[in-house]
Amino acid sequence: MAQAKKNVVLSGMRPTGPLHLGHLAGALPNWLKLQEKYDCFYTIVTWHALSSEYMNSQSIRHNTFEVAVDWLSIGLDPQKSVLFVQSEVKEHAELHLLLSMIIPLPWLQRVPTFKEMQRNIPDKDLNTYGFLGYPVLQTADILIYKANLVPVGEDQAYHLELAREIARRFNRIFQPVFPEPQMLLTEVPKLAGTDGRKMSKSFGNAIYLKDPPEVIRQKISTMVTDTRRKRRTDPGVPEDCPVFTLHKAFVSKEKRDELAKGCQTASIGCLDCKKVVIEALIERLTPYWEKRRAYEQHPQDVWDILEEGNKKARAVAQKTMDEVRQAIGF
Ligand code: TRP
Ligand code: SF4
């Protein structure tokens, strides 16, 4: 009997810098779980990075390496998942082009992230053809592997809805080629950065996986806490404390409840409380740091692993593109 076909998972990250604790609390554990069960494709989306970083294009290659090392060191396994670089699989660009022919312009003009990003990042000119097509390229990434599951955060919901609409439209106009991809919502706990705002690379407040233990210690020791605790004797409210968002992600509930009580009754100091999450992170990241050191010493191994992934991805993408061209009548 033919084996039931496994679900195909695809997701991607833009190579704009090393990964931080937000990724460790959200996407990464989810991706690790999925690779045990499904056929997973994880891609470093260099062209998506270029759509906003074209004035800084030289950074993309290095950041591709950074993301790849982060992925491998945290446990994404090239024996289980296809880890690859988007711009090394040129078929994505061809599908992007073909899809662009059938997408009504208003579908793209009403994408909330298109206007939002332009407003949020006024120092970059994002009013470009390429940036308008960002969700089309993302759709090509997904459809070219006939992925049916796409693990992403809430912020990608609109892009996924669009990918589904585009798949339907292609199937209707030409021939049914693509399954409609389902969004697999990743619960990302809200993590605060060192200044108390949302942790984000662009705010300069992030704690990176690759930060050495002494840097993690220093960043968390000086991180802002609940403002009510001006003195050691002032009770605090953990729910209002940026540091406690880290406890929620990385410290066991039991230990965390005990610290919360200590905070509310001023029986512990903030430094005592911070120490617990610092030690939890160091324990969690130690195996990752060891693997990272090995990859950093052998950078060519990392590029070779990616090239293996590129080859596997290409084979699947080429097969889909044969079907796509045939459906169109080329
Ligand atoms: N737009 C996604 C993000 O910013 C990255 C991405 C590109 C992606 N292509 C994808 C995510 C395909 C999932 C599937 O996070
Ligand atoms: Fe935050 Fe902990 Fe200090 Fe309370 S004791 S304010 S939870 S760091």
Give percent above pLDDT 90 in the chain: 91
Mean pLDDT of 306-327: 98
Beta carbon of 52 within 6 Å of any ligand 1 atom:
no
The predicted model gives 121-145 an average pLDDT of 94
Look at residue 3 in the predicted model and tell me its pLDDT. Answer: 61
Cβ of 45 below 6 Å from ligand 1: yes
Q: 151 pLDDT exceeds 90? A: yes
pTM: 0.95
Residue 202: pLDDT band with limits 50, 70, 90: confident
Query: What percentage of the chain carries pLDDT values higher than 70?
Result: 99
**How far away, in angstroms, is 193 Cα from ligand 1 center?**
23
Ligand 2 mutation target, pool 221, 234, 244, 265, most atoms within 8 A of CB: 244
Q: Judge if the beta carbon of residue 263 lies within 6 A of ligand 2.
A: yes
Average pLDDT over all residues of the chain: 96
For residue 184, which ligand has an atom nearest its CA?
A: 1
Query: 3-state SS string over the chain?
Result: CCCCCCCEEEEEECCCCCCEHHHHHCHHHHHHHHHHHCEEEEEECHHHHHHHHHHHCCHHHHHHHHHHHHHHHHCCCCCCEEEEEHHHCCHHHHHHHHHHCCCCHHHHHCCHHHHHHHHHCCCCCCCCHHHHCHHHHHHHHHHCCCCCEEEECHHHHHHHHHHHHHHHHHHHHCCCCCCCCEEEECCCCCCECCCCCECCHHHCCCCECCCCHHHHHHHHHCCCCCCCCCCCCCCCCHHHCHHHHHHHHHCCHHHHHHHHHHHHCCCCCHHHHHHHHHHHHHHHHHHHHHHHHHHHHCHHHHHHHHHHHHHHHHHHHHHHHHHHHHHHCC
pLDDT of residue 2: 56
